[in-house]
Amino acid sequence: MANYRYQIRTSGGQVQQGVISADSATSAASILRAQGAHVLALTQQATGVDTAGLMAKLKDLNAGQPTQKHVLDFTTQLAVMIRAGINLRSALEGIAEQTQHVTFRKVVNQLRNDVDGGLPFSAALAKHPKLFNPLYLNMVRASEMSGGFSRMLDRIAGYITQQLETKKMVMGAAIYPAIIGTLAVGVTVFLLTFVLPKFAGVFEGKEHVLPWATKFLMGLSAFMVKNWYILLAGAAAVGGCAFAFLRTEVGSFWMDKMKLTIPILRTMFRSLYISRSLQTMGQLINAGVPMLDTLAITGDISGNVLFKGMWRKVHTSVKQGKKICQPLMKETVLPRAVIQMISAGEESGKLGEVLDEISAFYARQLKDNIKAVTGMIEPIMILAMGTVVGFIAMAIILPIFKMSQLVK
């Protein structure tokens, strides 16, 4: 049981406030409505001194800009409160009171003020494009015209949840190789700049008996120690140039093409982009969003320049009165089987359902692909790290053994 602070309007027109205990906000609203009252606001009341909550609040104050996790929590809470019979203005006010993230609280308060000013909710959301993407706006706009606002919010929350889970899986798959790669570079630099220089005095004057590998590493070590600041500046410059290049249109195209070309990674990224594109398209179609708007939004959210270009071609073709599958037949980024299923769904009038099924299949395939890619990359990275470290170790040990034999 939790305590909820409520504000109601009685049958006599009086506004009253108080606290009620219930299992959930929905139950509390039902109890109040059963008493003949109209619920104006309903918020959960905090109990006791919550040290963890205080620390979390302090952390959120320094958390910077709101994220999609905040948008997900907002959407879920709004759906529950609307379903409980609370009007939109009061629901936004209640959510703002509970939101700990200062910046996002300001966003919610602005949404409430815009709704109070007579703006449609979708128009109020459109003022915050960094938080509420075109899919979110169009699905809300569709529900405003057709009804079922709370159900649409549940669908949006489900979509955001799946996208966040997918992003988490992909990022998780990249963390381990990144750690191993960083360790490999760090260990190599440490051996070359701190360990090998200590052997310079031992090998001095005996260069004629040293193997080529030892000579090479000793020369590389001396160069790194002497010019470390130049190398550091050069690495920073190369990294900066690479980052700037990838932010250009050419660099973005090159990177997105490489993701779909590299043998180990292309299956994983292909599943990611297909799942994201078709899930977005299916959600918008099922929400009643016009097809041209659906195709434009799908291209923008796909996450890959090649997929974005494909959906733009489809948009142009559909605008000319053609079917979706016609321009897709000329594309190579989608498997032929997927195009055939899209064509079947288009012919049967169940395109939204077909797209949901295809996206769900590729979402499951993405999980399997991530496991497979991670399983392949881990031993490759470990083998590469072991080879580099072993090469350096042998370059140090072999000449010592050789010199000891000459002494004997």
- Could you report how far apart the first and last alpha carbons of the chain are, in Å? 86
Cβ atoms of 77 and 157 within 8 Å: the answer is no
Please give the distance of CA 320 from its chain centroid, rounded to a whole number. Answer: 34
- Tell me whether residue 89 is exposed, middle or buried, using C-beta atoms within 10 angstroms of its C-beta: 0 to 12, 13 to 18, 19 or more: middle
Say what the pLDDT of residue 50 is.
46
- Residue 268, pLDDT > 90, answer no
Say what the pLDDT of residue 240 is.
92
Residues 337-372, buried b or exposed e (16+ Cβ, 10 A)?
ebbebbbebeeeeebbebbbebbebbbebbeebbee
CA distances from 256 to 47, 168, 181 (A): 50, 19, 22
Residue type, 226: K
Say what the pLDDT of residue 233 is.
92
Report how many helices (DSSP H) and strands (DSSP E) the chain contains, helices first.
18, 3
- Residue 49, pLDDT > 50, answer no
Say what the pLDDT of residue 59 is.
53
Cβ atoms of 305 and 252 within 8 Å: the answer is yes
- Domain boundary assignment for the chain: 1-47, 180-408
Question: Across residues 263-278, what is the average pLDDT?
Answer: 87
Please give the distance of CA 370 from its chain centroid, rounded to a whole number. Answer: 15
- Tell me whether residue 124 is exposed, middle or buried, using C-beta atoms within 10 angstroms of its C-beta: 0 to 12, 13 to 18, 19 or more: buried
Say what the pLDDT of residue 51 is.
47
CB proximity list for 407: less than 8 A, separation 6 or greater = none
Say what the pLDDT of residue 63 is.
52
More confident: 9 or 111: 111
Cβ atoms of 264 and 377 within 8 Å: the answer is yes
Residues 305 and 317: their CA atoms lie apart, in Å, by 18
Say what the pLDDT of residue 46 is.
57
180-408 in CATH: which number? 1.20.81.30
pLDDT digits (tens, 9 = 90+) for 354-381: 998 999 999 888 888 888 887 787 788 8
pTM above 0.85, yes or no: no
Say what the pLDDT of residue 341 is.
92
DSSP state of 63: S
pLDDT digits (tens, 9 = 90+) for 131-185: 998 889 888 888 887 778 888 889 899 889 988 888 888 887 778 778 878 888 8
pLDDT digits (tens, 9 = 90+) for 58-80: 555 445 788 889 999 999 999 88
Per DSSP, the three-state class of 85 is coil
Residue type, 115: V
Cβ atoms of 270 and 333 within 8 Å: the answer is yes
Say what the pLDDT of residue 263 is.
80
Residues 287 and 151: their CA atoms lie apart, in Å, by 10
Residues 347 and 132: their CA atoms lie apart, in Å, by 33
Question: Among 88-102, 114-128, 187-201, whose mean pLDDT is lowest?
Answer: 187-201
Q: What is the dihedral angle through the alpha carbons of 202, 206, 211, 214, rounded to the nearest 10 degrees?
A: 40
β-pairing verdict for 2-9 and 38-44: antiparallel
DSSP state of 16: E
DSSP state of 2: E
SS (H, E, C) 19-55: EEEECCHHHHHHHHHHCCCEEEEEEECCCCCCHHHHH
DSSP state of 199: G
Say what the pLDDT of residue 47 is.
52
Plot region of 146 (φ>0 → left; ψ -120 to 50 → alpha; else → beta): alpha
Cβ atoms of 287 and 142 within 8 Å: the answer is yes
Question: Across residues 306-330, what is the average pLDDT?
Answer: 89
Question: Across residues 381-397, what is the average pLDDT?
Answer: 82
